[in-house]
Structure 1
Amino acid sequence: MTSDSFARSHQHPGLEQVALNTCCLFLATCTYWLLFLILLFFSINSQAQDSAWFDVKPGSHYQTRFLLTNDIPSDQQSTLRELLQKHLSIHEAMQNPRMNESEWRRLVQKTPQEIADLLATEGYFKTKTTVYQPATQLAEFHLTLPQQAKVNKVNVAITGEIQLAEHQSTLEAAQKSWPLPVNSRFTQQAWSSAKRELLATLLRAEFPNAKITRSQALVNPQTQAVFIQLAVDSGPAVRFGQVRIHGLQHYKESMVRPLNTLKTGAPYRQADLLTLQNSFMSSGKFRSVDVTARTESLNADQTADIDVTVNELEQNTVRIGVGASTNTGARIVFNYTDRNLFDRGLLWDSSLRLEQRLQAATSNITFLTDEKGFRDSIQNSVIRTDLEGQTTTALQNGVRRYWGQPNLFEQYVGANLLYEFLTVDGEESQFNKAATLAYGLNMRRLDHPLAPTKGWILNTQFQLAPLDKLSDGRFLQSQARLQAFYPLTQSTQWLGRIEVGAVTGARSVPATYLFRAGGDQSVRGYAFQSLGVKEADAIVGGRVLLTGSTEIVQWLTSSWGAAMFVDFGNAANSWKDYDPVLGYGLGARWRSPIGPVGVDIAHGQETGEYRLHFNLGVNF
């Protein structure tokens, strides 16, 4: 390099400075835009997370808005939203037209603590709430929820006499009943329910004085892990003592004493107390029955005396009722009841029933339960029906003996004498008679006596005419009916029914013991007892019967539901001639205070007709 060139390079220092400044400006610009993009990303992300959850604006003045800054499961969102909407003080006050600005500000400041307290009941401990007020009458609450608490460890100790070997099964049942195991979600409702269920297992058994001596749920705020400690003292094992009856006015205690189903010295069971109450109520003599066990003041031998307090019904009652059914038409019913016939404690129930297609006069005398648990009755009736071209007048006199529990497992035997006058359109009138012996079995396993959702009912009956001299011929009638109820989901229920019957023996069997089908409790879509054997201008009974039904009920609310069903069945003279028909349709269901009510529109496939059917209660 020459000296001239060296000199020229020192004469222009601004060129290098410009280049350096340009590089710095470029780097600064890039850094600025990078920071801008990062801030924009977090801003968008924050806005996405702080999205509006729900608003409450009952009027035109004040409004609350809730936003979540983190994600929680959708099912939990709906639960928490309902909790905050219903139970925050600010929402109740917003509906008050006298709300003022001062009270509004006070409630806004108070709300974050209420939110934390409410969400803690659902297992969200230490919820953080930030309050914003974009406008004077608008309050925004930004919620940051922790992870929902879960059970990490469970220590349940049950002490007392339940530790003895003879109570081992009860102890194991109580331990297995604990419904809040490790890794389950912890909520206040689940925690309270778990304690109640464990304690109820002991209270229902022979430990009515069981109590919780220690109850603690420790929450780790960092991990949201819950440590459960529970101690239960079973107390002494209790047995039944003496049963004392109070409130009798018209009956001697010796009359109703056989209604007692408890045995002195037997292990205490809550279910046995309910059986005792049902025994008194089913006698038909009492308006109410209250059963109380003196478990807090045990006798020296650790037995608890039982107090039965009764409220008697009126001795004599007269009732008149009117109504209608899609089976037998409009009706009027006269009923007379004497609950202390001949001052012997006999229950006499008599009625006169007048309907368009059925008229009946009935009398039923029921004896009090005896020392062996038998319940006897005398039944007399005259029933006239006019259906599908056949007119039948049946005079019956019979006796029956029942035993067992009416709502669980009941049996009966009986004898009956029937005289029947039969007229079929296009044929001569007939006179039939039959003396029969009967056996029946009724079983029920239902979760509710009036409106069951799960369980089954089985009714069977056998009637035998063994003597030719007292009957037009020897025969055996067999009949069985099974109903089932099952919940498919929490709001969807399935109902099923099947009924089968057969008559074997003599050809000349009274029409009363033959089978016909059709109607509300049979095959819907067909008239009452319109399915059977064609004879002359009428439909008469057949010797075999098979009907069935399947139904789905979707409950739209706690009381109202919609139903879809398919029925099938028929009656015939033999299984070879049996030809089932179909009926199907839609209906509405209502859970009324006196039992389920159903209204159906059914289509009979064989006739092509639509029919309206109405049902009240469960047909037992």
Structure 2
Amino acid sequence: MKSNLFSRLPALVLALFSVFAQSQEAPLITITGVDDELRNNILNHLRIGGENCDTDMGRLLRLQNQVRGNTERAANALGYYKSSIAINFSPGESCWMLNIDINPGEAVMLDTVNIALDDQPIAVFNEVIDTSPLASGQQLNHGLYERLKNNLSATAVENGYFAARFVRSELNIDLVSNTADIDLLFAPGPRYLIGNIQMNNSSILSDEFVANLFQINTGDAYSNTELVRLRNNLDQSQYFSQVSINPQLSQAQNQSVPLLVNLAPRPRHAYSAGIGFTTDTGPRVRLGYENRYQTRNGHRLDTEISLSQVRLQQNVNYMMPIGRNPLRESMLYSAGVINEDNDTFESKRVELEAAYRNESTDGWLRNTFVNYQRDSYAINLDRDISHLAILGFNLSKTQADDLINPSRGWNLFTEISGATDAVISDTNFIQTIVNGKTVNSFGSRSRLLLRFDSGFTWIDDKEELPVSLRFLSGGDQSLRGYKYRSLGPTDDNGLVVGGKHMLTGSVEVDYEFRPRWRMALFTDAGNAFNEFDDVDWKQSVGVGIRWLSPIGPLRFDLAHTLNDDEGFRIHITMGPDL
């Protein structure tokens, strides 16, 4: 019995394969005599997808009129009204075939094109009209004509022109002259305004503060874009767990649309914990606490402690929204203690800072700050204590198509700061920092990533610059292949002490060889230095692999130095590319 079953197995497999092969067969449809645009339009109009290889020739022949009609409509849509069409169904070896041979004839061309508003020019509608390809001398295309009408109607709804209508909407075709005229007159009507705003605020925030967050008032021009932007800003404010803004169009009166706003609070107290690892700092642990509603005016208090093998940092921050737009303006008061002990230096630093932060509508974040720091440090055999009162300003922006896995984007950070011994500080200095990153795609799966970090200091005696303000290179985010902050100018004993200036950069190419996985080639170069004519340039090259996790890429790099006999060094990091 068993041998009989095995003897039949090849036949069973062959039968199953035959059934599978038949299920994969499909009719062969060929369209000749036309360009790709018309061919694709005909394929989209045929509507015979429900017919399979089992359909008999009798039914197929009865479908000829349907196929002819759909083909004519597809040709007409692109301006071909004088086409001749030959349709031929024929049996094939395993499935039937359809050939459509067309002589499209001469296309209808646009003659007079009149597209206008019935009132004074309105920018949003003029932009739609000006970008339309419909123009005298162009080939008639019904799709473009309907798209223009749809875009005008959508723009009207988007911007609160709820009474908009077409006064005239005419497309006249003259087959004798083979021309067409378009006469389109659009009446936007009055623009509706924001009416009464009913706000259901179940958070502990005061109604006055929430009204300042809202940034839209009764009497403002209606705009869906502004309502969506406002909802996103409120979502990102971290005050609310749920935000809904509902225009009550059915209750519009006197060209005003009331709004119903529902705001649900987040929990007042939040606790967080995290663990991580990088080769610069080793394993690290983070604990945090936040009071999201320290006051009814939106003040926040948060504190965090993070611990790694080389760094212990404790911070307390108090944030106060201010100004007419508290979503974009705030004062931040901070206190922190940072203890760092790496292979180059030891530092115990206490910092106090007050900062005014402002974010513009185009995404630039401006930060003006006053910082006091006391730094007790030891670098090699030198020990010192510094006191600095630093005044500074920084500017930053990140722009990308996807912040977690960008295919195109950039980041820029610039800062200038300084201190004078006339006010608390032990020394005079000015320091500037410019850091930038870009990501650009080429091909379908490849990206080019560039990074540039620079810093320059003007000070009379470089020995008076505390270690927290000296530049050092090397590590995961600097020059891979070298230890964390191990590169820079040296003292008479050849020990690294850090420098006044720094220039480092990186060029990296990665390739997505399978979904969520990339391989990379890179080179890093640069160093910290004191004099521009005495720079000990360092360079490394390496390969890496990236896993695109839901919270950002996890990177595993193997780097080799070109200037020193450092061998290979592994670098493991996690975080966004920009």
Q: Same fold (TM over 0.5)?
A: yes
Task: Please name the residue that 1:347 is paired with.
Answer: 300
Structure 2 contact 318–332 (Cα < 8 Å) conserved: yes
Q: Does 1:245 align with 2:199?
A: yes
Identity %: 20
Task: Please name the residue that 2:30 is paired with.
Answer: 68
Q: CA deviation at 1:463?
A: 1.9
Distance 1:206 1:70 in 2: 48
Task: Please name the residue that 2:212 is paired with.
Answer: 258
Equivalence map 1:102-181=2 (5 Å): 129-134=87-92, 138-144=95-101, 152-153=109-110, 155=113, 157-159=115-117, 163-164=119-120, 167=122, 169-178=123-132
Q: CA deviation at 1:228?
A: 6.7
Q: Does 1:396 align with 2:312?
A: no
Task: Please name the residue that 1:59 is paired with.
Answer: 20
- Identify which of 445, 457, 468 aligns with 1:512: 468
Q: Does 1:541 align with 2:498?
A: yes
Structure 2 contact 553–575 (Cα < 8 Å) conserved: yes
Give the root-mean-square deviation of aligned CA atoms: 4.6
- Identify which of 369, 386, 403 aligns with 1:414: 369
Structure 2 contact 313–336 (Cα < 8 Å) conserved: yes
Give the TM-score normalised by the residue count of structure 1. 0.72
Q: CA deviation at 1:370?
A: 3.8
Task: Please name the residue that 1:273 is paired with.
Answer: 227
Distance 2:474 2:99 in 1: 64
SS in 1 for 2:351: strand
Residue 330 to residue 60, structure 1, CA distance change in 2 (3 Å): same
Q: CA deviation at 1:577?
A: 2.6
CA shift digits 1:31-78 (9 cap, x unpaired): xxxxxxxxxxxxxxxxxxxxxxxxxx982335224153636668998x
Q: Does 1:574 align with 2:536?
A: no
Structure 1 contact 389–539 (Cα < 8 Å) conserved: yes
Structure 1 contact 255–368 (Cα < 8 Å) conserved: no
Q: CA deviation at 1:475?
A: 1.5
Structure 2 contact 29–99 (Cα < 8 Å) conserved: yes
Structure 1 contact 80–119 (Cα < 8 Å) conserved: no
Structure 2 contact 404–576 (Cα < 8 Å) conserved: yes
Distance 1:470 1:265 in 2: 52
Task: Please name the residue that 1:617 is paired with.
Answer: 576
The amino acid across from 1:363 in the alignment is V
The amino acid across from 1:388 in the alignment is D
Residue 354 to residue 590, structure 1, CA distance change in 2 (3 Å): same
Residue 65 to residue 58, structure 1, CA distance change in 2 (3 Å): farther
Distance 2:526 2:277 in 1: 25
SS in 2 for 1:281: helix
Residue 474 to residue 584, structure 1, CA distance change in 2 (3 Å): same
Q: CA deviation at 1:375?
A: 0.7
- Identify which of 303, 309, 332 aligns with 2:285: 332
Structure 1 contact 519–527 (Cα < 8 Å) conserved: yes
Gaps of 5+ in 2: 1-17
Q: Does 1:498 align with 2:452?
A: yes
CA shift digits 1:494-539 (9 cap, x unpaired): 4444332212225312222222334444344444433333345754
Distance 1:179 1:481 in 2: 43
Q: Does 1:234 align with 2:195?
A: no
Distance 1:435 1:580 in 2: 33
SS in 1 for 2:96: strand
Residue 515 to residue 159, structure 1, CA distance change in 2 (3 Å): same
Deviates more, 1:543-552 or 1:108-117: 108-117
CA shift digits 1:246-292 (9 cap, x unpaired): 34332221233322333554544444334433442343212233334
Residue 388 to residue 187, structure 1, CA distance change in 2 (3 Å): farther
SS in 2 for 1:64: coil
Structure 1 contact 316–336 (Cα < 8 Å) conserved: yes
Q: CA deviation at 1:346?
A: 2.1
Residue 591 to residue 212, structure 1, CA distance change in 2 (3 Å): farther
Q: Does 1:531 align with 2:487?
A: yes
Distance 1:599 1:358 in 2: 22
Equivalence map 1:301-450=2 (5 Å): 302-341=255-294, 345-371=298-324, 373=326, 374-405=329-360, 408-424=363-379, 426-448=380-402, 450=404
Q: CA deviation at 1:339?
A: 0.8
Distance 1:562 1:224 in 2: 58
Residue 344 to residue 266, structure 1, CA distance change in 2 (3 Å): closer
CA shift digits 1:346-393 (9 cap, x unpaired): 222222222233332222221234436431111122223333332323
Q: CA deviation at 1:331?
A: 2.2
CA shift digits 1:557-599 (9 cap, x unpaired): 8866655544433221232333443344455566665456655
Task: Please name the residue that 1:53 is paired with.
Answer: none
Gaps of 5+ in 1: 1-56, 95-100
